Structure 1
């Protein structure tokens, strides 16, 4: 039930783009992707782990959103680091300028 409540909460926080286009565009051709998917679904899984993973197919959308959020978090962290470096550089230039004026 906790997962369902979290999914409902996530749904409310989705952007309009995510609600309209819930899946990301794939780099594979649609026909090729469908052909591969059909082939995989027709084959019975041989390994016990693969059979167990079949129970979690419904969580694909959750993991897509989770991974997208993780990527955005990493991108924002990198952007913040770059902006912090720029800020330090600008502050140092300002200090040098103010030292030059006060002398």
Structure 2
């Protein structure tokens, strides 16, 4: 089974308050359970769905590999508008 899981995503500031500039943004979690599943297709689909939100907030999109078969695709204010960056959990972005 494979699929996309849509969840409202409210990034937290260091003080613990939700940041207001992307309060309405969406994070899409992608989980792949089957060997041979087309991960790139699922990630591309998630990115395409977030592009309108990213444009509206003038941010880019960050794809993070959280673990084996688990990814988070989200609008990120630290990614420049028009870019999609990738990272693995625990890595810093370059």
TM-score, length of structure 2 as denominator length: 0.23
Relative contact order, higher structure (CA 8 A, sep 6+)? 1
Answer 1 or 2: which has greater strand percent: 2
Q: Which has the larger radius of gyration?
A: 1
What is the TM-score with the length of structure 1 in the denominator? Answer: 0.21
